[in-house]
Each structure stands twice: as structure tokens, then as C-alpha cells.
């Protein structure tokens, strides 16, 4: 029986408009259409400024985590996917620590858990909207202006929740969260590559215009673009390309389990992805860091100078950006490139270790909560009339055999994800290491999903030509 907590908050999801599952498979063209609609609507929201705020007023609370949160300062997409991920993060921690009881294999419990996820996203949207305004993210607002901004933030947040729900329920490809992250990463990479706006070193911000400027100027040297402080440089460009290649390689790795068809008595190998938890640990780690920044700033503003408040984070303000100077928040800020990391070595190493630990925890925990563990794989094998040689054809025996493989893959992939993303941040990867990691893995999965769906609707002759003989499901 679900806990009182789930039974209490899940009805909130029924108050908010919802998206129904399609009664039948929408087909490739319809799914592609709604996917593009969701992405274009999100991009539009990132360009529409909030009405009633003064441009440049207040502080940018999440300036370092905009990529992972898929948010844009001062626009309708101010909150981004933050409320959705934070709500899911809270539930994951509660379920993983056994503070709330839920049997995710039971359909009724699963339904209530999904409703609670949506309810938590709505609650966090309302909460974060209120705290943004009260905390001075837009400066001092009159009551009427504050109310207007609050309504805009809540409305836009619910629209993003519904867009994500629409995609996840089968009307599009991937998930809304993934699509919005990719759109944000692509925008920032394009800016890092092509922006002609001059930076503080006198060179264009974008690395390509900067290279052109150095190549055509007798007064500039190539050393100036190898490493730049707070701007895209050649080391960052090479890191971005290298990290993308590494992630594609890791995504292709798998652990192969010997299986046998119970019908045809043919033996082959069943692959288990090495990147077992996919990109989920990085998203949840980003949400965790965002909330550390969020709450530590709130507490520090209220109890500045207090010893216990400084343990969570002490802050100073540089322009419109709050900068952590100590506490846990100091290690939740991604390094801003290699030169910055050399100037702040303890912060860079602390961030790397904290990111690895967070990714490991969320990777291991997510396997259980998402229902993708050894029992789920055992059910898939039995449903496909497959068995493991030497193992009894029962769910419990097969799951017991697979459990060490699954747990090892989840743990190692979580650690490796943290190492790759953290090192990329230290070296100055464009759009952050976590952003590149997320974008590459999301695009790979999205490509595979679209390719399979497109192949299913090909003519039989073309399908055989491209895919060979496809087994009937």
C-alpha cells in the first residue's frame, strides 16, 4: 500500500490539466510533428521576456547551471526543467531511503507514483516562482508587478510540465526534458563557436571569429586563443570534440550475457548497456547542485555570517552573479575552464569528487526506482522465450544471476559519467561537460528511436533492404 505522503500529494496532479495517452500508435509523422512543436514552443519561451521586470535587475541565482536546467534568464523559461527534475529528485531520495513505501511493480502504486511526480513538479514550480521573487532575483518589485511575474512563471512552468508529459505519453520522440536540454546545449555551443561579440580580452567571444581575428591581425598571437579566461578557447574546442567521441564510445559498450532460445535452441549473446542509467545521474546531480545553490543563498541572505549557514554556503555578489566563497555550495559550481581551475584547484577537485559521488548514488538508486533492474531484464528474457544456459528458467533465478552484472554496470557507469563530465568542465568544454554528455547521449538515443519508428513504416522491401529480416513482435 502506498505511503500517506503519496496518497496526500498525488491528487494535486488531477487538478492540473493533463495529456491523455494516444489510443493507438500516432505514427512517425505525427510523433515528429508534435516533437517539433514542443521544441519550437520551448525555444519561443526562451526568447520571450517576463513582463513586469527591469532588464538586468536582481541576481542570476543559477547562472552556472542554466544548461542542465534548460532555462534562460529573465524569460518565460526562467525555471526550465528545474521543478520537474527537483520534484523527481525528492521522490527518488524518499523512495531510495525507504522513507516512503511504494511497490513500483504494482500498477496502482506505479500510477500513484507517476501522479505524485507530476504533483511534486507543480508544487516545486509554485515554490520556486515564489522564492525567485521574494529572494530578489528580479530586484525589488511592487506587489502588482510581483503578482504578475509570479503568475507568468507558474503558467510557463506548467506549460513545460505538460509538454514533457505529452512527449513521454507517446505523442513524440524521447522526452520533453531531453529535448529541452539538447536545444539549450545547441544554442550555447553555437554561441561559443560563432558569437562575434567582443570579450574582455578584445577578441570575439566565439572561437571561430576569434581564430579569424588572430589569423588576420599582425598584433595578435595564437597563444591568445589556446587558453582564454572565461571565454571559448582551443583547449575547450578540442575537449568538446573529445568528450563527444568518448561518450559515443561508452554508449556503444555493453556487457554480453549468453542466452539460449527455448524454441529454436539457438545460442547468442544478450547485450546489457554499460551506460546502464543513461544520462539520468547527471540530470539529477545537476538538480542537486542547483538546490544546494538555491537554498544556501536563501539561508545566507537571511543569516549572513552565521557559522552553520556558512557550512552550506557563503556568498558574495559580482555584478548580477552570486559567487560562492565557502561551504558546500563552493564545490557545486562547475569550473569555468582550465585557467580558472588552475586558479582555484581545491574548488575544481572538490567539484569533481562531489559530482562523481552524486552520479554514483543516483545511478545505483535510479536502477531500482525506474524498474530497470535485474528483475525487469529477467521478465524480458522469459517473455521472449529466452533462457540462460545452466540457470533455471524462473524469474528469481535469472534475476539473481543478472543482479551482479546490473549493479556493477550501474555503479561503474555512474562513476565514469561523473569523471567524464567533471574533467570536461575543468578543461572548459563548451556548454559544460555535463551539457555535452547529456546532448550526445540524448541525440544518440533519439536517433535510434526515430530510425526504428521510421523503419517500421517503410515498405516491406525497403525495410528488408536497410534492416534485414525484422522479427515480428
Return the bridge partners of 198, or none: 204
CB-count burial class (<10 Å; 0-12, 13-18, 19+) for 143: exposed
Element (H, E) at 16: none
CB-count burial class (<10 Å; 0-12, 13-18, 19+) for 271: exposed
CB-count burial class (<10 Å; 0-12, 13-18, 19+) for 282: buried
The domains of the chain, with CATH numbers, are: 1-194 (1.10.3370.10), 233-451 (1.10.3370.10)
**CA dihedral of 50, 129, 94, 115, whole degrees rounded to 10:** -70
Cell numbers that stand for 440 in this block:
550526445
pLDDT for 36: 93
CB 403 within 8 A of CB 255: no
End-to-end Cα distance, the chain: 34
Cα 13 from Cα 320, distance rounded (Å):
36
Interhelix angle for 28-47 vs 433-456, to 10°? 150
Cα 72 from Cα 46, distance rounded (Å):
6
Interhelix angle for 345-369 vs 395-427, to 10°? 160
pLDDT for 464: 55
Cα 344 from Cα 383, distance rounded (Å):
54
CB 116 within 8 A of CB 6: yes
User: If DSSP codes are grouped into helix, strand and coil, which group holds residue 463?
Assistant: helix
| Residue reference for cell 502506498 | 2
Cα 327 from Cα 337, distance rounded (Å):
21
Encode pLDDT of 16-63 as tens digits.
888 888 888 888 889 999 999 999 999 999 999 999 888 767 778 777
CB 368 within 8 A of CB 94: no
Within 304-398, strands assigned E span 314-318, 321-326, 386-387
pLDDT for 471: 44
Cα 369 from Cα 361, distance rounded (Å):
12
**Cα of 385 vs its chain's centroid, Å:** 35
pLDDT for 284: 84
H-state helical runs in 97-228: 107-134, 143-166, 176-194, 207-216, 223-226
Encode pLDDT of 171-225 as tens digits.
999 888 889 999 889 988 999 999 999 988 889 999 999 999 999 888 888 888 9
pLDDT in tens, the chain (473 residues): 556 777 788 888 888 888 888 888 888 889 999 999 999 999 999 999 999 888 767 778 777 778 888 888 889 999 999 899 888 878 877 876 677 777 766 777 778 888 888 999 999 999 999 988 887 788 888 899 999 999 999 999 999 999 999 998 989 998 888 899 998 899 889 999 999 999 888 899 999 999 999 998 888 888 889 988 888 999 999 999 999 999 999 888 888 888 887 777 778 788 888 888 778 888 888 888 888 888 888 888 888 888 888 899 998 888 778 889 999 999 998 898 888 899 999 999 999 999 999 999 989 888 877 667 788 888 878 887 888 888 888 888 888 888 888 888 889 999 999 999 999 999 999 988 888 988 998 898 888 888 877 777 765 555 555 555 444 43
CB 300 within 8 A of CB 309: yes
Q: What is the DSSP letter of 267?
A: E
Nearest CA to 87 out of 155, 21, 157 is that of 157
Amino acid at each position: 500500500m502506498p505511503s500517506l505522503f503519496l496518497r496526500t500529494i498525488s491528487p494535486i496532479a488531477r487538478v492540473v490539466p493533463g495529456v491523455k495517452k494516444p489510443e493507438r500508435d500516432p505514427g512517425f509523422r505525427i510523433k515528429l510533428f508534435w516533437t517539433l512543436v514542443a521544441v519550437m514552443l520551448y525555444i519561443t519561451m526562451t526568447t520571450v521576456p517576463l513582463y513586469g521586470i527591469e532588464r538586468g535587475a536582481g541576481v542570476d541565482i543559477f547562472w552556472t547551471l542554466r544548461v542542465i536546467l534548460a532555462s534562460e534568464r529573465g524569460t518565460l523559461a526562467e525555471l526550465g526543467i528545474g521543478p520537474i527534475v527537483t520534484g523527481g529528485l525528492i521522490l527518488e531520495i524518499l523512495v531510495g531511503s525507504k522513507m516512503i513505501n511504494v511497490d513500483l511493480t504494482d500498477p496502482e502504486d506505479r500510477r500513484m507514483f507517476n501522479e505524485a511526480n507530476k504533483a511534486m513538479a507543480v508544487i516545486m514550480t509554485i515554490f520556486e516562482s515564489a522564492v525567485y521573487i521574494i529572494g530578489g532575483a528580479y530586484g525589488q518589485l511592487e506587489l502588482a508587478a510581483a503578482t504578475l511575474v509570479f503568475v507568468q512563471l507558474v503558467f510557463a512552468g506548467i506549460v513545460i510540465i505538460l509538454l514533457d508529459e505529452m512527449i513521454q505519453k507517446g505523442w513524440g520522440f524521447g522526452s520533453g526534458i531531453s529535448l529541452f536540454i539538447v536545444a539549450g546545449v545547441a544554442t550555447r555551443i553555437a554561441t561559443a563557436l560563432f558569437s562575434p561579440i567582443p570579450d574582455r580580452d578584445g577578441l570575439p567571444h566565439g572561437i571561430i571569429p576569434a581564430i579569424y581575428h588572430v589569423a588576420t591581425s599582425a598584433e595578435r598571437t595564437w597563444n591568445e586563443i589556446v587558453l582564454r579566461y572565461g571565454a571559448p578557447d582551443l583547449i575547450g574546442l578540442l575537449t568538446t570534440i573529445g568528450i563527444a567521441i568518448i561518450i559515443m564510445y561508452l554508449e556503444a559498450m555493453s556487457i554480453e550475457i549468453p542466452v539460449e532460445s527455448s524454441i529454436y535452441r539457438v545460442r547468442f549473446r544478450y547485450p546489457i548497456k554499460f551506460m546502464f542509467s543513461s544520462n539520468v545521474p547527471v540530470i539529477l546531480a545537476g538538480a542537486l547542485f542547483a538546490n544546494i545553490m538555491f537554498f544556501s543563498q536563501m539561508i545566507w541572505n537571511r543569516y549572513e555570517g552565521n557559522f552553520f549557514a556558512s557550512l552550506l554556503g557563503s556568498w558574495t555578489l559580482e555584478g548580477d552573479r552570486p559567487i560562492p566563497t565557502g561551504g558546500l555550495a563552493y564545490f557545486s559550481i562547475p569550473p569555468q575552464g582550465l585557467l580558472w581551475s588552475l586558479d582555484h584547484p581545491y574548488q575544481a577537485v572538490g567539484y569533481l569528487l562531489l559530482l562523481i559521488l552524486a552520479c554514483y548514488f543516483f545511478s545505483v538508486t535510479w536502477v531500482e526506482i525506474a524498474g530497470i533492474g535485474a528483475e525487469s531484464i529477467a521478465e524480458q528474457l522469459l517473455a521472449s522465450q529466452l533462457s540462460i544456459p545452466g540457470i533455471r528458467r524462473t524469474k528469481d533465478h535469472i534475476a539473481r544471476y543478472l543482479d551482479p552484472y546490473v549493479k556493477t554496470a550501474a555503479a561503474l557507469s555512474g562513476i565514469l559519467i561523473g569523471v567524464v563530465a567533471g574533467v570536461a568542465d575543468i578543461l572548459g568544454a563548451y556548454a559544460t561537460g555535463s551539457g555535452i554528455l547529456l546532448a550526445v547521449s540524448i541525440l544518440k538515443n533519439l536517433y535510434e528511436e526515430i530510425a526504428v519508428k521510421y523503419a517500421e513504416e517503410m515498405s516491406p522491401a525497403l525495410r528488408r533492404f536497410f534492416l534485414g529480416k525484422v522479427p515480428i513482435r
